Every structure is written in C-alpha cells, then in structure tokens.
Amino acid sequence: MAQELVLDAHTDSNKNWAWWLYLGHALSMFFTLGAASLIPIILNYVKRGDADGTFVYSHHSWMIRSFWWYLVWVCVGWALVATFFGIPLGIAVWGVAWIWKVYRIIRGWMALSNNAPV
C-alpha cells in the first residue's frame, strides 16, 4: 500500500507557488531564452520568505541561484561574442548555459513533485 504525504495548507500553497514559478522559468527559457525570467525571479524573492521553514524554501533559493548563474554565463557569452574571434566560443557558452539552466529547472521541478528539498 502506498503512503501519501499530506501537507498542511500553508506548505501546499507554497508548493503550488513554486510549481507555477518553475513553469514560468521553463516557459521563459523556451520562448525568450531566459529573458522573461525577470517576472518569476521577482516572485521567487517575494515568496521565498513565506516558505521559510519548509522544503519549498530550498526551491526558491535553487531558482534564484539558477537565474543569477545563468545570467553570469550569458554575459560571459556576450563578452566573448564582442571580441569577434570569440564568436564560436560565445555561442558554445550560451548553449551550455541554456542546457544547464533547463537541467536545473527539470531537476528542481522533479524534487518539488516528490516533496523533497533541492
């Protein structure tokens, strides 16, 4: 017989918010290459305090760190592209950064679905 974890209303609400924010980050990656992640990232900062003391808090921190590191690597890619000779390397950096960010979204979303911290 499988056991089902029952979350209190506060934790369940925070989990739902995190789920929608993962969706926002994912849609941003596929439709704007991450540019529209500003909306979910602001909401991550706003909702992270509400999730303090729950496993959902780690998910907000995970999305925030993913966003900032992705932004750093996109900027590194732009700096390489600006050198002209670094164009192939810059494009490679962008591609690896995009794959890494998508991996982080999927890994976090799966952990959230399993009610586990990241």
The model's pLDDT over 78-89, given as tens digits with 9 standing for 90+, comes to 999 999 889 999
What's the whole-model pTM score?
A: 0.91
CB 108 within 8 A of CB 63: yes
The model's pLDDT over 17-52, given as tens digits with 9 standing for 90+, comes to 999 999 999 999 999 999 999 999 999 999 999 999
CA 77 → CA 28, 33, 42, 99, distances in Å? 19, 13, 24, 14
CA 111 → CA 10, 42, 43, 62, distances in Å? 18, 22, 20, 11
Residue 2: pLDDT over 70: no
The model's pLDDT over 55-65, given as tens digits with 9 standing for 90+, comes to 999 999 999 99
Please tell me the predicted confidence (pLDDT) of residue 109.
97
